[in-house]
């Protein structure tokens, strides 16, 4: 992030002209695991990871949710919205 900010300054561009996005798989589980990949874990753990990204200045998240079919992906999306998003916003 520091390098990106420096490159923007060097190019004469304002930081708010660039929206930084993260795309990553997200897996919400019932129990914590250690060690665990970022954005994999309990709702509290995943929300904590998202807050760390926010602290770096990232505001756009493209989450890849698990599911072999539309019904499973829809359930994963509902769970993410119910259990994770309220902990981040």
CA distance 28 to 31: 9
| Prediction pTM value | 0.84
Tens digits of residue pLDDT in 44-55 = 999 999 999 999
Q: Encode pLDDT of 13-51 as tens digits.
A: 988 888 889 999 999 999 987 899 999 999 999 999 999
CA distance 72 to 34: 25
In sequence order, what DSSP letters do the residues of 10-65 get, joined into one string?
Answer: HTT--GGG---EEEEE-EE-SS--SS--TTEESHHHHHHHHHHHHHTT--EEEEE-
């Amino acid at each position: 992030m520091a390098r990106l900010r420096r490159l923007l300054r060097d190019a004469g561009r304002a930081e708010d002209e660039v929206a930084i996005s993260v795309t990553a798989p997200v897996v919400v589980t019932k129990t914590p695991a250690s060690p665990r990949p970022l954005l994999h874990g309990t709702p509290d753990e995943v929300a904590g990871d998202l807050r760390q990204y926010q602290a770096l200045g990232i505001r756009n998240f493209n989450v890849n949710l698990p599911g072999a079919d539309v019904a499973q992906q829809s359930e994963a999306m509902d769970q993410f919205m119910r259990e994770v998003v309220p902990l981040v916003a």
